[in-house]
Homo-oligomer: A and B are copies of this chain.
């Protein structure tokens, strides 16, 4: 029932992929555009990495596993992308790039990358965490705040299909309603302004 946009139908799937529903919100909420430099980790099947590369100036994507990087390499080639560099490496230890606009993290213990992420980002840069469980979200968000990131904001994206037929319109009976939470945050600016919104109960 879920339609993959045409581009995604060319792609191979190895490890669990990030789906277009989450990729879309990452694109619009992070504000990635033709001038953006992005770092992505872990690569996995590379669906997010190639989606970013179709929009951004340059994307660097890290994974520890060579087999995953091969799948991503296949996907990169089938889309003809030349601005995506796939790197075997550990972002917990080091992020080579500087002046990065957007970092995306989809790996267990993502909070352990946040110190390196902060160093890699431009003053106003954004980091996006993708994590299935609320415990991870909490640990990660607390770490973001302790490191001075601002505008920490967590969402869950639900794309609900509507069945449109002559005999009647209604939502589909069943659907996909959870993949992961997305945690957005912005690096603290030099003047230290914080405008965290998560502190207010709604």
List residues of A whose CB falls within 8 A of some B CB. Answer: 1, 3, 5-7, 20-21, 23-31, 33-34, 51, 54-55, 124, 132-138, 141-142, 151-179, 181, 183-184, 186, 197-202
Contacts and interface: CB of A to CB of B under 8 A. Distances in A.
Interface majority SS (helix, strand, loop, mixed), chain A: mixed
A171 B173 CA distance: 16
A136 B168 contact: yes
B178 A1 contact: no
Nearest to A198: B164
A6 B123 CA distance: 13
Contacts of A164: 137-138, 141, 152, 154, 183, 198
A162 B177 contact: no
Contacts of A200: 1
Contacts of A25: 20-21, 24-25, 159
A116 to B, nearest CB: 22
A169 B156 CA distance: 13
Contacts of A132: 168, 170
